[in-house]
Amino acid sequence: MARFVNVAIGQLGPIARSETRPQVVVRLKALMHQASAMGCDLIVYPELALTTFFPRWYMAEQAEIDSFFEREMPGPETQPLFDLARELGIGFCLGYAELSLEQGRAHRYNTSILVDRAGAIVAKYRKVHLPGHAEHEPWRRFQHLEKRYFEPGESFDVVQAFGGVLGMAICNDRRWPETYRVMGLQGVELILIGYNTPVHNPPAPEHDDLSLFHNQLVLQAGAYQNGSWVVGVAKAGIEEGVDQIGGSCIIAPSGEIVAACTTKGDEIALARCDLDLCNSYKRTTFNFDVHRQPSAYGMIVERKGVRLKADGTLFASD
């Protein structure tokens, strides 16, 4: 019996700083209705989908920063989305800024949750690869202060849901092969990734013209090299003056793009994901048990950055 999951991209256009959570939830619900009407089982929303991408600004006051965070999920303003999901029998993946009190101390994460068709949270992921910088850098056209506003997560986990093995990642995570491989080693079959990606990257403007290419490249590589479906979902368009890429797409385990958005606004695109297609790669080319050579991979875990000899040449080996 084939294991199909009908997946919808729930791409969002810009969210203004002044837009309230209830106003955003109205947009999320509209996309959910559209997806449900087209027979979707699961809709995937972007990273930080409840607010504007606030790390683009330096804010000194913690109270102002915390205004962008959720203290509970669902809370009063997001409960209507959970209620609709249960009513329609559709699951969803939602990115948001999480403020979590742990042993009386506040912790802040860039978080994504997976909610099943009964409206229950079945998985939570906290972004591991926080890009950008921790201090105000006024030279930049806009800031990217994720290293200041969030703590990193500690693991890439998978969960049994929607008839298969699902995992989540967030934005910059998608650029790092380790993200996909750690989930691949847990048998992941469908990886859900929301993102907010400015076209312009201040430290490397020469990459700007390639921003959509790089987005697609890493999603396709991650899918193919781990025999998994991958869903990339943008918060797109010019948001508070910053142009963010679209490029939302669904990638099959073959690496092929099977669905894509064509606008930079609120849009859904759908694919019927046959989870059994993963086996064609997991059992042959990427049969990890048969082909991988972990004894040669030690540096991937032992080293953070490149290490050079004193004379600047590369280490032959440590």
Mind telling me the catalytic residues?
Answer: 47, 127, 171
Closest CA to 68 of 45, 43, 47, 91: 47
Query: Torsion-angle region of residue 254: left (phi > 0), alpha (psi -120 to 50) or beta?
Result: alpha
CA 187 distance to own-chain centroid: 18
CA distance 129 to 147: 9
153 three-state secondary structure: coil
Q: Is 196 in the site for ligand ING (CB under 6 A)?
A: yes
Of 171, 230, 260, 268, the one binding ligand ING by CB under 6 A = 171
Segment near ligand ING (CB under 6 A); pick from 14-22, 31-39, 180-188, 196-204: 196-204
Q: Pick the binder of ligand ING from 201, 220, 226, 248 (CB under 6 A).
A: 201
| Residue 163, phi then psi, degrees to nearest 5 | 85, 5
* Among the residue ranges 59-67, 181-189, 197-205, 269-277, the one whose residues contact ligand ING (CB under 6 A): 197-205
Q: Give yes or no for residue 52 binding ligand ING (CB under 6 A).
A: no
Residue 58 CB, nearest distance to ligand ING (Å)? 16
Answer yes or no whether residue 68 interacts with ligand ING by CB under 6 A.
Answer: no
| Region binding ligand ING by CB under 6 A among candidate stretches 8-16, 24-32, 169-177, 184-192 | 169-177
Per DSSP, the three-state class of 298 is coil
| Min CB(156)–ligand ING separation in Å | 16
* Smallest separation, CB 198 to ligand ING (Å): 6
Q: Does 244 contact ligand ING by CB under 6 A?
A: no
Q: Please name the helix (run of DSSP H) or strand (run of DSSP E) that holds residue 262, with its range, or none.
A: none
Residue 36 or 248: which CB sits closer to ligand ING?
A: 248
CB 170 within 8 A of CB 232: no
Say whether residue 125 binds ligand ING (CB under 6 A). Answer: no
Nearer to ligand ING, 55 or 164 (CB): 55
Tokens 């009908």, located at residue: 6
The closest alpha carbon to 78, from 61, 98, 63, belongs to 98
CA distance 166 to 44: 12
Binding site residues, ligand ING, CB under 6 A: 131, 171-172, 175, 195-198, 201
